[in-house]
Structure 1
């Protein structure tokens, strides 16, 4: 999904970084101080490709640690990397994180895969002993009740510093590649945290009556994610609809014709027909109004549901929602139906990470193929579709009022991740993650999205584990296997997670 197609760009995480050492060493071993600071500068430059990096420099005493903590606090960082450049006492590190409470990751990244045993001096060895203080730091963090993670591996330099006696070109070593993948995942997790904390989620209408799993306290959502919920009414959409021009309708029609295939009548379901010209025109007009609504209220995501009396003008308005909300989802404004705010958050997390996130629920189990079909009656994330999604005219929306145009599609074949954001009995958010494979198995032609997914276990065994975690009945469906990345998101956001 191209960044340029998004209505609003995501925010980069603000990343704190500092290098540690022992002040006593600097006079004893000339060049060591500058050498490990150089390693820190390398980390800063490479991290800056993903996030907004604030490099403090060297922390080599408890006084410097306090100054660094105050500085990071002033920069409002989302995450701090502590780079173990050489040995340091833990008393220099702990004050940083007692003052600034951003999540911390310790980097134990050795410059060379192997030291030069025959020629190495004490000063040379000290430039490679970043692992030495990590157990001490871990002990201090644990006793101070500070959560932390450690990334072990190689630094990944592409050239050896002149001062070095070893070969420090390690960028292609698996230990460097693995370490940098983890670093990038942490930076992406910080970007999710920052973007959500600056996000505005529209809540249009109500939650579908009786769906108890989806009810949430807006204050609780803001308290745990930082996002603002903007409560909207159908009259807000209606006001935007009155401002739609014929030119804007034609532009939406061109957009729809480019992104969708227009179906004929379903060969199976009598309520799924070829969309009429009137239905398509109305879907385009409503889609233009929906985009106006998003821009007017500066929204980053939207959840919606309207249950109206038959014949109410708003019934016709909401009947045109699915196509426009699918277009918005593809442009970085995830839209979740039935008033499911938590799934809108899950979809937004996926969108920030660039992995899609389509609105889904369990459709049916195929015991012959041992797959579980996930999908919904809309909206759909067009950017992760297998081929062109199909538009079908619906004689009715099952369980809802009205008629209109719906989307029939599946997510691309290949690895997928289910991302379910639920709420526990004590009012805490919890992320439930699952990895599977989207297959090319058969789907129904009923105007709904459907993706057959094969998980590692038999469907019955998998569902037994899944349901035991008390999920909501909706989830976001992302392309690729991203459980490790999403685990880091949960940790940075300080919400619980379980991976099935």
Structure 2
């Protein structure tokens, strides 16, 4: 659906990798060392799909382990994978992570699904015994108070090495598929922490007055995620609007006609009509200025809201926001309304992971279908739309000043996951995750985004659980079932996470 190019290149995470062994084995079992190195190179190549991989190679002594820690620090890695290729002492591994404090994942990836019991030698067994040292590592890391995670499963080769005495073609087995899904999620999650550390979030205008769940401390957000918040003024955008050329307006018009369907009058709501020529022209002009603002301020996301006085210059300006902010969201610059920085963060996490992230809140419950409609009177993530989003002219924005053009759209039918970023009483961020299904149920024709969502529990039971977690009243909708992916993001960001 999304044919617009991202305004910024995707940031790949920097991933450290090393394999472990015991130096005493190499003279005893010729070929074992080279075999384990080959496994490590296979892992490196497969991981490179998702990140920049820095593979140290095989580590087999405590002294070498200290060198690895310094080497990984020099590469500024976001995450380190320790491939337990065979047995190794914990004294080899622990110093690496006492020096390099990036999060660590142990890989227990057995090459074969079953050893050849009748023909296996000691050397052959040692190439298959990666699980053996993991308990030792777990104990040492626990006592050193270093967090760790373990991925268990099969290596997933699509060939059998010449030295092997058994079948090592396991890439189609569920244990390999599951393990590599988990590995890919860890690497993709690391991209979130890497990207946020260099992200600039714009804060334009102010937060909707009285929405107490929206208010957050800018320093707190930077301290816990690394994002910089750039405070922007409406006059900055207003100046850019005054400088927009006719060719820039024409370019935005073409983008809009490619990405949206222009509606007629709503059959039900008298304030939702076919957009007027003037409303559309103003939206094109404001959209061009919005893109200029993002480029000039080097923004990665934007949270905005401005109430304005009736008939004021800025009331007119904000009335043209929604179309341009939808276009920006489709190009990797998530835009969250009502000054909601925390939901802009949720949307950015979804966008980094390539799963969308559309601004939403509870609209209404359908007890007949047992769905909850989620949506908002604001920007929409065009890339996850079910068909072309519709633009409607609004006689008024409910609860806000002004009139303008709004988006009526629905998220694709199928699996989805909501991500809510909230703030607890002690000032800590928290992620709330819910997997569900987008249905093809009915929606209103009132110029708002709306998606009928069927959660795993009855709407009343789900809402009881959700509200008990004290969420922000907005959330980001992503496509696909992404709970395990979002949970890994929470772990790498050290943000408490709840999955409902």
User: Normalising by the residue count of structure 2, what TM-score does the alignment of the two structures yield?
Assistant: 0.99
* Structure 2 residue 469 is matched with structure 1 residue 469: yes
SS in 1 for 2:449: coil
Q: Which residue of 2 aligns with 1:331?
A: 331
Q: Which residue of 2 aligns with 1:89?
A: 89
Aligned-pair CA distance for 1:273:
1.1
Aligned-pair CA distance for 1:3:
9.0
Q: Which residue of 1 aligns with 2:347?
A: 347
For residues 57 and 307 of structure 2, the distance between their equivalents in structure 1, rounded to whole angstroms, comes to 57
SS in 2 for 1:373: strand
For residues 45 and 275 of structure 1, the distance between their equivalents in structure 2, rounded to whole angstroms, comes to 52
Q: Which residue of 1 aligns with 2:179?
A: 179
Q: Which residue of 1 aligns with 2:238?
A: 238
Partners of 1:421 and 1:472 within 8 A in 2: yes
Q: Which residue of 2 aligns with 1:392?
A: 392
1:34-69 CA-to-partner distances (Å, cap 9, x unmatched) read 111111111111111110001111121211111111
For residues 71 and 227 of structure 2, the distance between their equivalents in structure 1, rounded to whole angstroms, comes to 26
* Structure 2 residue 265 is matched with structure 1 residue 265: yes
1:361-415 CA-to-partner distances (Å, cap 9, x unmatched) read 0001111111100000011111111111111111111111111000111111111
Q: Which residue of 2 aligns with 1:311?
A: 311
Partners of 2:10 and 2:352 within 8 A in 1: yes
* Structure 2 residue 263 is matched with structure 1 residue 297: no
Partners of 1:263 and 1:392 within 8 A in 2: yes
Partners of 2:192 and 2:349 within 8 A in 1: yes
Aligned-pair CA distance for 1:4:
6.8
For residues 411 and 231 of structure 2, the distance between their equivalents in structure 1, rounded to whole angstroms, comes to 31
For residues 423 and 9 of structure 2, the distance between their equivalents in structure 1, rounded to whole angstroms, comes to 28
Aligned-pair CA distance for 1:172:
1.1
Q: Which residue of 1 aligns with 2:199?
A: 199
For residues 242 and 297 of structure 2, the distance between their equivalents in structure 1, rounded to whole angstroms, comes to 16
Partners of 2:303 and 2:337 within 8 A in 1: yes
Aligned-pair CA distance for 1:2:
6.2
For residues 445 and 106 of structure 1, the distance between their equivalents in structure 2, rounded to whole angstroms, comes to 51
1:101-155 CA-to-partner distances (Å, cap 9, x unmatched) read 1111100001111111111111111011000000111111111111111111111
The correspondence of residues 337-376 of structure 1 with structure 2, limited to 5 A, is: 337-376=337-376
Change (3 A) 1:380 1:4: closer
Aligned-pair CA distance for 1:200:
0.8
Partners of 1:3 and 1:9 within 8 A in 2: no
SS in 2 for 1:450: strand
Partners of 2:208 and 2:338 within 8 A in 1: yes
Change (3 A) 1:245 1:3: closer
Q: Which residue of 2 aligns with 1:424?
A: 424
Gaps of at least 5 residues in structure 1 are none
Q: Which residue of 2 aligns with 1:32?
A: 32
SS in 2 for 1:213: coil
For residues 248 and 430 of structure 1, the distance between their equivalents in structure 2, rounded to whole angstroms, comes to 41
Q: Which residue of 2 aligns with 1:44?
A: 44
* Structure 2 residue 450 is matched with structure 1 residue 437: no
Aligned-pair CA distance for 1:210:
1.0
The correspondence of residues 16-27 of structure 1 with structure 2, limited to 5 A, is: 16-27=16-27
Give the alignment's Cα RMSD to 1 decimal. 1.0
User: Normalising by the residue count of structure 1, what TM-score does the alignment of the two structures yield?
Assistant: 0.99
Change (3 A) 1:345 1:102: same
For residues 317 and 4 of structure 1, the distance between their equivalents in structure 2, rounded to whole angstroms, comes to 24
1:248-277 CA-to-partner distances (Å, cap 9, x unmatched) read 101111111111111111111111111100
Q: Which residue of 2 aligns with 1:282?
A: 282
For residues 247 and 426 of structure 1, the distance between their equivalents in structure 2, rounded to whole angstroms, comes to 51
* Structure 2 residue 421 is matched with structure 1 residue 408: no
For residues 263 and 39 of structure 1, the distance between their equivalents in structure 2, rounded to whole angstroms, comes to 57
For residues 62 and 491 of structure 1, the distance between their equivalents in structure 2, rounded to whole angstroms, comes to 28
Which portions of structure 1, spanning 4 or more consecutive aligned residues, are displaced by more than 2 angstroms?
1-4
Q: Which residue of 1 aligns with 2:460?
A: 460
For residues 314 and 264 of structure 1, the distance between their equivalents in structure 2, rounded to whole angstroms, comes to 27
Gaps of at least 5 residues in structure 2 are none
* Structure 2 residue 145 is matched with structure 1 residue 145: yes
For residues 487 and 462 of structure 2, the distance between their equivalents in structure 1, rounded to whole angstroms, comes to 19
For residues 434 and 384 of structure 1, the distance between their equivalents in structure 2, rounded to whole angstroms, comes to 18
1:300-334 CA-to-partner distances (Å, cap 9, x unmatched) read 11000112111211110010000000010011110
For residues 4 and 27 of structure 1, the distance between their equivalents in structure 2, rounded to whole angstroms, comes to 58
Partners of 2:2 and 2:382 within 8 A in 1: no
Partners of 1:262 and 1:274 within 8 A in 2: yes
SS in 2 for 1:5: coil
Partners of 1:207 and 1:339 within 8 A in 2: yes
Partners of 2:336 and 2:379 within 8 A in 1: yes
Q: Which residue of 2 aligns with 1:223?
A: 223
Partners of 1:272 and 1:395 within 8 A in 2: yes
For residues 266 and 48 of structure 1, the distance between their equivalents in structure 2, rounded to whole angstroms, comes to 50
For residues 164 and 325 of structure 2, the distance between their equivalents in structure 1, rounded to whole angstroms, comes to 57
